[in-house]
Amino acid sequence: MTDTWIEMPESEDVEHDAAPVGSDDDLDAEGYLPEDDPATTPPTSPPTVVVDPNAGIEGAQFPVSPAAIPGWAKEFGNGQIPLDRMIKVAPIGAGYLLPEAAAAWRNLQNAATAAGFTLTMTGAYRTLDQQVALFGDRYSTQNTGRSSKRWNNVQYWLKQGAAMAAVPGTSNHGWGCAVDAALDGYGGAAQGVREPFLSWAVQNAAANGWSWEVQSEPWHLRLVAFESIVQQPAGPATAHVPPSPTLKLGSRGGQVAALQNLCLLFKWGDPGRADGQFGPRTEAAVKAMQAALAATADGVYGPRSAAATAQFLSTVG
């Protein structure tokens, strides 16, 4: 990718949230394109991962890697990124991600679907105002004897029974690069992440640009980098699934951003920034991709182009 990636502040190491709960009150389809989301058509095949049904998730080791954000987003500030620079990837009010993160999220969802899982979310982007409200709900200036944090030169203590939260302006949710993952649906239909999905995710998250923040929160994924797709050995555990077709001039969303990222990554034409908008530059890039993959160069990314892309990605190591 052409953008600059930077590591997140160390304060993110102490951001904790209680296990997310899906609620129909959170549902908000405005700006959301169901056809862009693989979770709208749950897979019919059972999961291919087989694990001990009695294993559970206690003691599981989740890879923890430094989070990253695109340099352009830093110019706006944490929690202050305009929504029109983001992509609505879920039918919930907090379902926005940066285009780079949206592309990586669709990659992970596509791979999860192929493995027989319906990967969804209960939360993503948090504005600064939302971070302030959350911090106010969980912290008090009264000494409760629990852990404390300093914000705006004032000491705050965690309220009894509350889960930790990041100091406003430091949450990686505020960069639109973190997801509270769920399974099976959105809103009240959302179920917590569990086995065998977690075993699958440990093997596949990094290959699709995601990692965890802390061992105690298996649901909290954060963006590492899309470049990791070329740093993983090819094989069943890290097989990459191409963006979902059909995408063409006028299409938009996370699948388009994923396609644009592929074109940028492998230097197939020049789609510009991976913004999730399929315009003339993306059409030209898709033609370049199709020519490179010996597919019909018509600028429409359909099932045949997807199959050619899948074949190519299976050889990337």
| Structural domains present in the chain | 5-126+172-231 (no CATH), 131-170 (no CATH), 242-313 (1.10.101.10)
Question: In sequence order, what are the beta bridge partners of 70?
Answer: 5
Residue in the structure block whose two tokens are 């003691």: 59
**pTM (two decimals):** 0.89
pLDDT of residue 269: 95
Query: In Å, what is the CA distance from 303 to each residue of 12, 101, 129, 290, 309?
Result: 40, 24, 43, 12, 10
pLDDT of residue 1: 44
pLDDT confidence bin for 238, thresholds 50/70/90: very low
Say whether pLDDT at 85 is over 60. Answer: yes
Say whether pLDDT at 91 is over 50. Answer: yes
pLDDT confidence bin for 149, thresholds 50/70/90: very high
Question: In sequence order, what are the beta bridge partners of 181?
Answer: 121
Q: DSSP of 62-130, one letter per residue? A: --B---EEEHHHHTT-TT---GGGSEE-SSBTT-EE-HHHHHHHHHHHHHHHHTT--EEEEE----HHH
- Using DSSP, state whether 163 is helix, strand or coil: coil
Residue in the structure block whose two tokens are 């019909």: 296
Average pLDDT over residues 185-205: 93
Longest distance between any two alpha carbons in the chain, whole Å: 67
- Say how far apart CA 168 and CA 39 lie, in whole Å: 31
